[in-house]
Amino acid sequence: MKRNGTLLNSQESDFSLAELIGDEHISTSADTPLRPDAFEMSNDEKKQKIAFHFREILETLGLDLNDDSLRGTPDRVAKMYIDEIFCGLDPAAKPQIALFDNKYRYREMLVEKEITFYSNCEHHFVPIIGKAHIAYISSGKVIGLSKINRIVQYFAKRPQVQERLTVQIAEELKRVLQTEDVAVVIDAVHLCVSSRGVQDINSATVTSHYSGKFKSEDTKREFHSYLNLNKTNV
């Protein structure tokens, strides 16, 4: 591999490829890349280890951890990582969804829009802030509206790539609802773009997933009309 016309050694080449993947926001898999032993350690053990290493990071940056404001930061960050912003990595946190008969015999699309979520880019570990818009057509079963929000939050609360997040939400909804008639649109701002790199504070990223009846242009157009997306190429 070459960079600026210079042949790189294997270690430099690996780093340059990783750097390119991170800057170009490339997703390598529809599944979150987890090691087989990801859950052998307890959450408490993970917190202790994260706190230790984050303390090392702060000290490397030259910060004085004897300061009252910083003294508890490693433990706070460790707790936040495990219990809050990355809790979607834990299968035990996956929302339990109950299906109900569609007794109203409602056969039109149901749209849940403007679902706010906070995630983190897996390339730089800075926030992704966005809205998810979900629609489905019942196959005879329905779920509570809040459960749609919980599914979005579960997959958002892990290191993510927006394309993967879109697919994961859609596949889980299809599995839970027992239907292929699902649509997902995500509109998000990436702080790895706005706060670093090109530092573009005005851009946003839109991703979508359509399956079943939503592949029909008429059905897709109806969905977009509820979201005011008729003039947007999604």
Cβ atoms 189, 53 nearer than 8 A: no
Token reading at 219: 């059905």
The amino acid sitting at 230 is: N
Q: Active-site residues: which are they?
A: 121-124, 162, 190, 192
DSSP string, 68-80: TTTTTHHHHHHHH
DSSP string, 8-68: PPHHHHHHHHHHHHHHHT----SS----TTTTSS-HHHHHHHHHHHHHHHHHHTT--TTST
For 141, counting Cβ atoms within 10 Å of its Cβ (0-12 exposed, 13-18 middle, 19+ buried), the class is middle
Q: Is 97 helix (H, G, I), strand (E, B) or coil?
A: coil
Cβ atoms 159, 122 nearer than 8 A: yes
